[in-house]
Amino acid sequence: MPRIVIRWTFGETKARPLSPQALDMLETSIKFAKLIFKNARFVVCYNNLSPDTLEKLKKIVIETEIKAIDVTGFLPRHLARTDVKNSWWKYVIPRLDNDAYEIIMDNDVILWRAPPTLKRAIRENALVALTDAAGQYYGDFHDLVIRIDPSLRLNAGLLGMPPGFKVDFELIKMVKLKDFFHSEQGFTALNFALYEGIKYLIPLEEVVQLNIIRVPPDKLVSRYYGGHFSGCSYAHFDFWEKEYARVVKRLYERLIMDE
């Protein structure tokens, strides 16, 4: 079994300031990850945070006893836009540990149990990502991805990279970026589609995408291994705070008491 690194990408832009839900989900995601993967290394890679958000992040980092790295200056200039929602930041730093199994998670992805497909991917040193309930949103990479794998429905909210795996940044040169936001997911999907090793998508039956598929809170924590609370970080939706936060945190408290 390789050593494991779990990292969260956390940032905001002038166009998309973070909502309080974003910090709450991040803290919850970290706490559960530390329960599931006890011997892993945990890191938050943050960028472009306002002083107020940074202060709140520092409190979370201290409380959860993990490391935070400011990667604001690490993304190439042509990808470091702050006028739009920007998910390209998940690729800085490209790898924290090339010899580890490294998992990149969005702050709105919370796992309360290790999904079987993720455990299998780690065991087999396979590439893994989430399934997208919404469809195939690949931006400027859409045609390239579909040409290789017409059925691929990849969501880049979680990306598990086996030891030695390297993201091919040269693929960015294959398109002219117009749909800046969705193209990051398309770039991730293209790397996934071209990968010749073992690879899996975590099915929606394990980690549900809640902006598309609404599940009653009690059913969510009892039947699923985690949830992707997509859209809540930037207050497009408030279903994390209003519907799920209390139940998910209550589960955490029960698990802590059982330790």
Q: What is the pLDDT of residues 86-127, one digit of tens each?
A: 899 999 999 999 999 999 999 999 999 999 999 999 999 999
Per-residue model confidence (pLDDT) at position 44: 98
Which pLDDT tens digit goes with each residue over 147-165?
A: 999 999 999 999 999 999 9
pLDDT at position 2 is: 81
Burial 1-19 (b: 16+ CB within 10 A, else e): eeebbbbbbbbbbeebebb
- Residue-level pLDDT at 57: 97
DSSP H/E element including 199: strand 199-202
Q: What is the pLDDT of residues 193-237, one digit of tens each?
A: 999 999 999 999 999 999 999 999 999 999 999 999 999 998 678
Q: Residue 104: which residues within 8 A CB-CB, separation 6 or more?
A: 7, 8, 9, 90, 158, 159, 160, 161
Domains of the chain: 4-258 (3.90.550.10)
Confidence (pTM): 0.96
